[in-house]
Amino acid sequence: MKNLTLSLGILLIVLGLASYFGTGRESITALIPAFFGLVFTGLGALAGIEKIKKHVMHVAVLLAVVSLFGAARGIPGVIEILGGGEVERPVAVYAQAAMFTMCLVYVIASVRSFIAARRADAA
């Protein structure tokens, strides 16, 4: 999970930077995925400390769930674009949808990992 958390952090940083520069550096809010990415990267690094690993990973999953709620705003926009419509800020819509997808995959993988760890402890 440590490597997955670090990977998510790096991907979110890249997404945030790409969004920021892709919008002509108009709004600092385009960097929101990068800010989340920095936190995930830090949590991934902290997961290397065996004594606190379990707690850190639970915090990371909680942060990913919170991220899902914020990034979900991009999903209707993507549906609108795919339907042939237009949205006001397409780069923001794509960035939100990408962040939503990345965090959803992370949450699913984390829950599966937690379940496997519990089963391994029980055995």
Report the predicted TM-score, pTM, of the whole model to 2 decimal places: 0.90
The confidence score (pLDDT) of residue 75 equals 92
- Is the Cβ–Cβ distance between 8 and 102 less than 8 Å? yes
Q: Find the mean pLDDT for residues 87-115.
A: 93
Residue 6 has pLDDT above 80, yes or no: yes
Pick from 1, 13, 31: nearest CA to 105 = 1
Q: Average per-residue pLDDT in the chain?
A: 93
End-to-end Cα distance, the chain = 20
Domain ranges of the chain: 2-122
Q: How far is CA 11 from CA 66, 76, 102, 106, in A?
A: 17, 22, 8, 12
> Sorting pLDDT into bands at 50, 70 and 90, what band is 16?
very high
